[in-house]
Amino acid sequence: MKKIIFHIDVNSAFLSWEAVYRLAHKGSALDLREVPSAVGGDVTKRHGIILAKSIPAKKYGVQTGETLSEARRKCPDLLLAPPNYGLYRECSAAFLGILREYSDLVEQYSIDEAFVDMTESCHLFGAPEETAGQIKDRIRDELGFTVNIGISDNKLLAKMASDFRKPDLVHTLYREEIPGKMWPLPVSDLFFVGRATAKKLASMGLVSIGDIAGADPGWLRAVLKKQGETIWGFANGIDLSPVLAAPAPNKGYGNSTTTPFDVTDTETANLVLLALSETLGNRLRADGAKIGVVSVTIRYRDLSCFSHQKTLVSPTDLTLEIYHASRELFSRLWNGEPVRHLGIHTGGAGREASGRQMSLFDEIDYEKLALVDRTVDSLRRRFGADVVKRAVFLNRAIDHMCGGVPESSAGA
């Protein structure tokens, strides 16, 4: 049976979700999507970066990832909204809920993207394009924001198709359509080709995706190593990765997040890991559980996923102990490529009735750390998750308690 894969991508996700929330729940008469606007940073202190921008802002040259001051120089009247990650997770869950009505195989690729394997279920709803149009229209009519949907027989081509003309559209990219629809595009449009690689390819005379597809794969591998082989395969529409639905819950605790921008440095990665550890530690303590194994998972832009784990000396529920273990694992695992998804998962979870086994060589006051964690937990339960946050998160684009548990339910 021929595979039918959809890739669903929310158009200007953070900006769209903020706009819909203001229109539906705050009584605003202004649609942020229709004016030069953006989501990002600390608006009052003019720090941070642009996380999402409207189409009118894009016409001024405003780009995702640039600083607020750079964006304001391009568009002095740019309307800025602070990020609201709790809202974004709720919107993400809502559109994923609709997708799961059409297939059991839904893989969340990021907070605003998902792959759906429609091979077994598409016939229940109609032809692929008809079904995709139905999903697209339901999301727009029921949730208030728009998506693009790409259709193909593998994940790579479906994702490429969803990036064609936007917004609120359905596109196909079947194998027979590759020469006409994909090969004329510039190399920078190919998945896994960043600015540096695109520049290097151009210096080699490869300016279109078709140029890469027609090149000698052995030569590309010799010049670009593993990446050369990968992009040659992508340029020819080759992708064997399956759509993976979320695994069944187990006795471990886990937390992961897709960052609003690709992580390219250790400092930012450590900040994300600390935020994940905050939420994870909070959940462990709320359940009276401790874990004995910590695992870190990295997902790169090319869909590849890698993980590494370590066994702790003593079971723990301490935020900083989980963080230090995950930071160590990340430093061993990371290959230097841009990261868009990070996760911390644990094993050996259980109720720990007895106290911690102390050592003469301990340099950390675990009792003091435990007291601090529980005091902070208590304050957050009473006054909200944002009442206490570490200073390192001030004026940063990373939420101080990110991952799978929204702020409104942290500690519950």
Q: Check if the beta carbon of residue 287 is closer than 8 Å to that of residue 340.
A: no
Nearest one of 303, 315, 318, 302 to 368, comparing CA atoms: 318
CB atoms within 10 A of CB 319: 25
**Which residues, in sequence order, are bridge partners of residue 256?**
343
Q: How many CA atoms lie within 13 A of 128 on its CB side?
A: 22
Element spanning 58, H or E = helix 55-58
In this structure, are residues 210 and 184 in contact, taking their beta carbons and an 8 Å threshold?
yes
DSSP state of 51: E
Question: Tokens 């030569």 label which residue?
Answer: 219
The residues with which 295 forms a beta bridge, in sequence order, are 309, 345
| Cβ burial, residue 25 (10 Å; 0-12/13-18/19+) | exposed
Catalytic residues: 113
Nearest-angstrom CA–CA distance, 103 and 105: 5
Which token pair is 93? 């869950």
Residues for the chain: how many in total?
A: 412
* Bridge partners (DSSP) listed for residue 346: 294
Residue identified by tokens 């009792």 is 367
Report the DSSP pairing between strands 5-10 and 147-152. antiparallel
